[in-house]
């Protein structure tokens, strides 16, 4: 919830418009933001105070546009349902694989065993996008390579 509140406050304060080159990577697939962005947008449009103060402009970008232009999300959500919401909100090209490693050690306490925080998120990507799809490959590493310019010639 804290992520959603922070981004909503930044949006309302005009941070994304004031700093158009700002790019953010939000943890946990943006928290509740992909699910509540529509509600936030509706509240902004219907808030009489914001309208009277001139803070709701007809030319303003919606929170949906900000999500697709300035926000990246990690894929730490442990479910294909939540992952699909994150993809719908920001786009598959703005999603990057992540884990809670080492915060959540293996459930079976074998440190050398499988780390569920990795496998569950990997499996969610496979289930949501198809294991060998180009979209899944992008989320599992391709997007991070591009966004973080890991192997670029820049």
Among the listed residues 100, 88, 83, 101, the one whose alpha carbon sits nearest the alpha carbon of residue 139: 83
> Model-level pTM?
0.84
**pLDDT score of 18 more than 60:** yes
Among the listed residues 97, 80, 76, 88, the one whose alpha carbon sits nearest the alpha carbon of residue 147: 97
Which stretches within the chain are classed as H helix?
2-12, 15-18, 33-46, 48-52, 63-69, 80-90, 116-129, 134-137, 143-147
Using pLDDT thresholds of 50, 70 and 90, give the confidence band for residue 154: low
DSSP 60: P
* pLDDT score of 106: 67
Give the residue, 115 or 59, on which the prediction is more confident: 115
Q: How far apart are CA 49 and CA 73, in angstroms?
A: 31
* pLDDT score of 140: 95
């Amino acid at each position: 919830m804290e992520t959603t509140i922070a981004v909503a406050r930044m949006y309302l304060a005009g941070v994304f418009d004031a700093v158009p080159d700002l790019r953010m990577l939000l943890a946990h697939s943006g928290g509740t933001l992909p699910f509540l962005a529509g509600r936030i947008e509706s509240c902004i449009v219907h808030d009489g105070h914001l309208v009277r103060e001139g803070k709701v402009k007809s030319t303003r970008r919606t929170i949906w546009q900000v999500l697709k232009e300035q926000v990246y999300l990690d894929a730490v959500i442990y479910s294909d349902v939540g992952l699909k919401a994150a993809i719908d909100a920001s786009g598959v090209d703005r999603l990057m694989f992540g884990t809670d490693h080492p915060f959540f050690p293996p459930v079976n306490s074998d440190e050398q065993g499988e780390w569920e925080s990795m496998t569950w998120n990997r499996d969610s990507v496979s289930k949501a996008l198809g294991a060998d799809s180009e979209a899944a490959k992008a989320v599992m590493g391709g997007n991070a390579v591009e966004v973080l310019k890991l192997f670029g010639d820049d």
